[in-house]
């Protein structure tokens, strides 16, 4: 854990966490990254809390066995459900706190959050935003299908357009102008959101999470000092079929290695 040359572990229910890796690569280009996507179990957003906690702990254990120095929970759904993960002394950084803290001195009066049904049901975003800034009101809207459509690579489908319009309707009805993309899969279609709703400011929580990870590495004195670009290793419990297209959309370079069908120990 104290070794600056150790990699950072990033985990997500599927390909959505690539949107987080893209932001990490911008801020921390010299860090080695080991990514685990649980594509064979995605979507997590329609699972039970117990299922999400069990699966996530197995991924954390896997990353710890890879000797990571910090673990980034990219997935919003996991960040709302698995609050008692055992990191075996490796620091774990979830995705929701950092973006909410960025609103502590913000001016918008009302913030919308869109995410999976499990994320929105917990109201974690609303509670954290109001804790940070009691002058804010917040409204969460769930999308039952959007993450899954994106996970399967239907980036340009009409179904995605319909889903965007449907999840944004309650937000437009309330004239809310600031919206958090509360699911890692959504930044993969961020351009669509911005094109269809040009008057709305969309926030990608990964930007703020990357800033907090940078601070964490500095404060623990574990930032990687290598001069070359960090490596990127991809592990998935399923297949990487949709991964390459997702990376192209995010302008993320291909992984140095891809390991598919990884079985996690019980
Ligand atoms: N990536 C997950 C998130 O950020 C959502 C996808 C899923 O339902 O598994 O919430």
Q: pLDDT, tens digit, for every residue of 104-149?
A: 986 778 999 999 999 999 999 999 999 999 999 999 999 999 999 9
What residues act catalytically? Answer: 75, 183
For the chain, the distance separating the N- and C-terminal CA atoms, rounded to the nearest angstrom, is 23
Residues 6+ apart with CB under 8 A from 222: 1, 2, 3, 4, 6, 69, 70
Instruction: Check pocket membership of 76 for ligand 1, CB cut-off 6 A.
Output: yes
Instruction: Check pocket membership of 237 for ligand 1, CB cut-off 6 A.
Output: no
**Sign of the torsion formed by the C-alpha atoms of 183, 184, 189 and 190:** positive
Atom of ligand 1 at shortest range from CA of 95: 4
Tell me the HSE value of 214 on the side-chain side, using a 13 A CA sphere: 15
DSSP code per residue over 178-219: EEEE-STTGGGGHHHHHHH-TTSEEE-HHHHHHHHHHHHHHH
Q: What is the pLDDT of residue 105?
A: 84
Q: pLDDT tens digit string along 147-198?
A: 999 998 888 899 999 999 999 999 999 999 999 999 999 999 999 999 999 9
CA distances from 178 to 116, 171, 208 (A): 18, 9, 16
Q: pLDDT tens digit string along 72-100?
A: 999 999 999 999 999 999 999 999 999 99
Tell me the HSE value of 8 on the side-chain side, using a 13 A CA sphere: 27
How confident is the model over 2-16, as a mean pLDDT?
Answer: 96
Copy the structure tokens of residue 250.
């995010």
Which residue CA neighbors atom 7 of ligand 1 most closely?
A: 43
Question: CA angle 266-261-246, nearest 5°?
Answer: 120
Q: What spacing in Å lies between the alpha carbon of 4 and ligand 1's midpoint?
A: 30
Instruction: Check pocket membership of 43 for ligand 1, CB cut-off 6 A.
Output: yes
Model confidence, pTM:
0.95
Atom of ligand 1 at shortest range from CA of 151: 6
Contact 139, 171 (CB under 8 A): yes
Instruction: Check pocket membership of 38 for ligand 1, CB cut-off 6 A.
Output: no
Please give the share of the chain, as a percent, with pLDDT higher than 90: 92
Rounded distance, CA 46 to CA 67, Å? 31
Q: What is the pLDDT of residue 9?
A: 98
Q: Which of 83, 82, 77, 67 is nearest to 34 (CA)?
A: 67
Instruction: Check pocket membership of 118 for ligand 1, CB cut-off 6 A.
Output: no
Atom of ligand 1 at shortest range from CA of 38: 9
Rounded distance, CA 235 to CA 137, Å? 39
Q: What spacing in Å lies between the alpha carbon of 264 and ligand 1's midpoint?
A: 19
Among 11, 81, 184, 190, which residue has the most ligand 1 atoms within 8 Å of its CB, making it the best to mutate? 184
Instruction: Check pocket membership of 12 for ligand 1, CB cut-off 6 A.
Output: yes
Q: What is the pLDDT of residue 242?
A: 87
């Amino acid at each position: 854990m104290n070794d600056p040359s150790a990699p950072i572990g990033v985990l997500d229910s599927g390909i959505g966490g690539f949107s987080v890796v893209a932001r990490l690569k911008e801020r921390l280009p010299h860090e080695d990254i080991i990514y685990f996507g649980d594509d064979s179990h995605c979507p997590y957003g329609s699972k039970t809390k117990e299922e999400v906690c069990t699966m996530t702990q197995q991924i954390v254990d896997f990353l710890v066995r890879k000797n990571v120095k910090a673990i980034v929970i990219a997935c919003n759904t996991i960040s709302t459900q698995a609050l008692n993960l055992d990191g075996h002394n490796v620091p774990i950084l979830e995705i929701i706190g950092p973006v909410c803290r960025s609103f502590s001195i913000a001016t918008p009066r009302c913030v919308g959050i869109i995410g999976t049904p499990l994320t929105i049901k917990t109201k974690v975003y609303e509670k954290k935003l109001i804790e940070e800034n009691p002058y804010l009101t917040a409204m969460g809207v769930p999308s039952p299908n959007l993450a899954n459509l994106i996970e399967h690579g239907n980036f340009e489908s009409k179904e995605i357009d319909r889903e965007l319009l449907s999840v944004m309707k309650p937000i437009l009805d309330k004239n809310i102008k600031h919206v958090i993309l509360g699911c890692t899969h959504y930044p993969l279609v961020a351009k669509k959101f911005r094109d269809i709703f040009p008057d709305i400011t969309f926030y990608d929580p990964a930007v703020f999470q990357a800033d907090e990870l940078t601070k964490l590495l500095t404060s623990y004195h574990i930032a990687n000092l290598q001069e070359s670009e960090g490596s990127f290793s991809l592990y998935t419990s399923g297949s990487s079929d949709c991964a390459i297209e997702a990376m192209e959309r995010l302008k993320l370079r291909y992984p140095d290695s891809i390991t598919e069908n990884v079985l996690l120990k019980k």
